[in-house]
């Protein structure tokens, strides 16, 4: 499902698509590798859920719905996350989301925008008209010299359970 092509001199539309593919690959990987992860993908929408109680780990994405399917899909999705005792989840939208006014429909149903969520849960994420930060690089393909360009104290560690995550000093939300 992801695009394995390394982009060089990419056009803006290609970069946008690559960021989306990368994000969706991240969601799949989290659901497959973290304990208790779940993933449901279809041509209409995709959902993922895993620990910890952080919005990135619970979400809906790649939504492609006909207008008459939207309300039912929202109800089904809310029920899906409630059945799993998820205290919240994100509904990711992008330029390919259908219907194009899904964000407005979700807002009318009580969903918060990224800006509103930022105040409560995602401090430090800067949302602009161009979007929020995402990673485009394949870490397995990066040159090791890039590691010398990170801030002092930066570390990448594999976490296998929620306790290990909090042992690193991550603040629990919710």
| pLDDT tens digit sequence for 57-104 | 999 999 999 999 999 999 999 999 999 988 888 999 988 999 999 999
Residue 5 domain flag: no
Most confident of 12-16, 99-103, 114-118, 167-171: 99-103
Q: What is the pLDDT of residue 26?
A: 93
Per-residue CA distances from 24 to 67, 73, 98 (Å): 23, 19, 17
Q: Domain limits at 29? A: 12-167
Per-residue CA distances from 78 to 23, 91, 114 (Å): 22, 11, 18
Residue 143 domain flag: yes
Residue 174 domain flag: no
The count of domains in the chain is: 1
Q: How far apart are CA 38 and CA 10, in angstroms?
A: 33
Total-model pTM: 0.66
Residue 6 domain flag: no
Q: In which region does residue 23 sit, left (phi positive, over 0), alpha (psi from -120 to 50) or beta (all else)? A: alpha
Residue 99 domain flag: yes
Residue 140 has pLDDT above 90, yes or no: no
Q: What is the pLDDT of residue 55?
A: 72
Q: How far apart are CA 136 and CA 138, in angstroms?
A: 7
* Counts of helices then strands in the chain (DSSP H, E): 5, 4
Residue 80 domain flag: yes
Residue 119 domain flag: yes
**pLDDT tens-digit map of 102-116:** 999 999 998 888 777
- Strand pairing category for 46-49 and 38-41: antiparallel
Residue 39 domain flag: yes
Inter-residue contact 106 to 91 (CB < 8 Å): yes
């Amino acid at each position: 499902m992801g695009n394995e092509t390394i982009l060089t001199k990419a056009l803006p539309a290609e970069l946008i698509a690559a960021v989306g593919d990368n994000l969706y690959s991240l969601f799949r990987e989290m659901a497959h590798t973290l304990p208790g992860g779940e993933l449901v993908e279809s041509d209409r929408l995709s959902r993922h859920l895993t620990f910890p109680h952080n919005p990135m780990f619970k979400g809906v994405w790649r939504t492609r719905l006909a207008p008459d399917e939207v309300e039912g899909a929202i109800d089904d999705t809310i029920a899906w996350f409630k059945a799993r005792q998820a205290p919240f989840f994100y509904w990711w939208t992008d330029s390919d989301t259908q219907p194009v006014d899904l964000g407005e429909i979700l807002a009318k149903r009580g969903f918060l925008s990224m800006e509103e969520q930022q105040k409560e849960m995602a401090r430090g994420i800067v949302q602009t008209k161009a979007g929020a930060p995402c990673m485009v690089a394949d870490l397995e393909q990066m040159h090791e010299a890039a590691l010398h360009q990170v801030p002092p104290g930066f570390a990448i560690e594999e976490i296998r359970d929620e306790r290990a995550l909090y042992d690193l000093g991550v603040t629990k939300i919710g």
